[in-house]
Amino acid sequence: MLDINLLRTDPEKVRENIRKKFQDSKLPLVDEVIEMDRAYREARQRADSLRNQRKTLSKQIGGLLAKGQKEEAEQTKAQVAALGDELKALEEKEESLQAEIRKRMLVIPNIIDPRVPIGRDDSENVEIERFGEPAVPDFEVPYHVDIMERLKGIDLDAARRTSGNGFYYLLGDIARLHSALLSYARDFMIDRGFTYVIPPYMIHSDVVNGVMSFAEMENMMYKIEGEDLYLIGTSEHSMIGRFIDTILDEETLPQTLTSYSPCFRKEVGAHGIEERGVYRIHQFEKQEMIVVCKPEDSPMWFDRLWQNTVDFFRSIDIPVRTLECCSGDLADLKVRSLDVEAWSPRQKRYFEVGSCSNLGDAQARRLQIRVRGGDGQKYLAHTLNNTCVAPPRMLIAFLENNLEADGHVRIPEPLRMYMGGKERI
Dihedral sign, Cα of residue 371, residue 297, residue 336, residue 266: negative
8 is catalytic: no
Q: Give domain status of residue 219, yes or no.
A: yes
DSSP class of 226: T
Whether residues 311 and 162 fall in one domain = yes
- Report the chain's mean pLDDT, rounded to a whole number: 94
pLDDT tens digits for range 272-319: 555 578 888 999 999 999 999 999 999 999 999 999 999 999 999 999
Q: Is residue 303 part of a domain?
A: yes
Marked catalytic residue, from 86, 216, 250, 352: 352
Residue that is last in its domain, among 55, 79, 105: 105
Q: Distance of CA 124 to CAs 121, 151, 152, 236, 344, Å?
A: 6, 38, 40, 26, 21
User: pLDDT at position 81, please?
Assistant: 87
Is 393 marked active-site? yes
Asked if residue 289 lies in contact with residue 258, where contact means CB atoms within 8 angstroms, the answer is yes
Residue 52 has pLDDT above 70, yes or no: yes
- Considering the candidates 213, 242, 393, 400, report the single residue annotated as catalytic: 393
Let me know if 366 is a catalytic residue.
no
81 and 142 together in one domain? no
- Supply the pLDDT for residue 268: 57
| Per-residue CA distances from 247 to 138, 250, 253 (Å) | 58, 9, 11
Query: What is the CATH number for 288?
Result: 3.30.930.10
Say if residue 37 is in the same domain as residue 162. Answer: no
My answer on whether 197 and 338 are in the same domain is: yes
- Where are the strands (E) in 214-335, listed by range? 222-223, 230-231, 246-249, 255-264, 283-293, 320-324
Read off the pLDDT band of 220 (50, 70, 90). Answer: confident
133 as an active site residue: the answer is: no
178 and 74 assigned to the same domain: no
Q: pTM here?
A: 0.91
For residue 77, give the amino acid letter.
K
User: Could you say which of 235, 259, 261, 355 is catalytic?
Assistant: 355
pLDDT at 331 over 50: yes
Angle between helices 298-315 and 172-191 (to 10 degrees): 140
Total number of domains constituting the chain: 2
Has 25 been annotated as catalytic? no
| 67: containing domain | 4-105
User: Among residues 160, 280, 372, 410, which one is catalytic?
Assistant: 280
From residue 287, alpha-carbon distances to 29, 180, 290 in Å are 38, 12, 10
Residue of 15, 54, 186, 265 marked catalytic:
265
Residue 270 has pLDDT above 50, yes or no: no
Q: Do 16 and 70 lie in a common domain?
A: yes
pLDDT > 90: percent of the chain: 84
Same domain, residue pair 187 and 280: yes
